[in-house]
Amino acid sequence: MSADVVNLRQFRKQKARSEKEKQADQNRITFGRTKAEKNLTSALNDKAEKTLDQGRLEKPQDDK
């Protein structure tokens, strides 16, 4: 029974490539949205904030 001979330099490079690919996949998920999707999310957040503010009993007062 003989063990497989592994070139450590190649193993390290392959591991680094694998880690970079995982990071790239995560970045695609996190930042890979179109401008239309970003605008839609922004509009939905603004609408939700306005709806929430409409239910307030007191309006915030300006200190002017």
One digit per residue, pLDDT tens: the chain, 64 residues? 678 888 999 999 999 999 999 999 999 988 898 899 999 999 999 999 999 988 887 766 776 5
DSSP output for 1-60: --PPP--HHHHHHHHHHHHHHHHHHHHHHHH---HHHHHHHHHHHHHHHHHHHHT-SSPP
pLDDT at 55: 81
pLDDT at 3: 81
Q: How far is Cα 47 from Cα 32, in angstroms, rounded to an integer?
A: 24
Closest CA to 44 of 36, 54, 55: 36
Six-digit token string for 38: 């970003």
This prediction has a pTM of: 0.47
Domain boundaries in the chain? 27-53
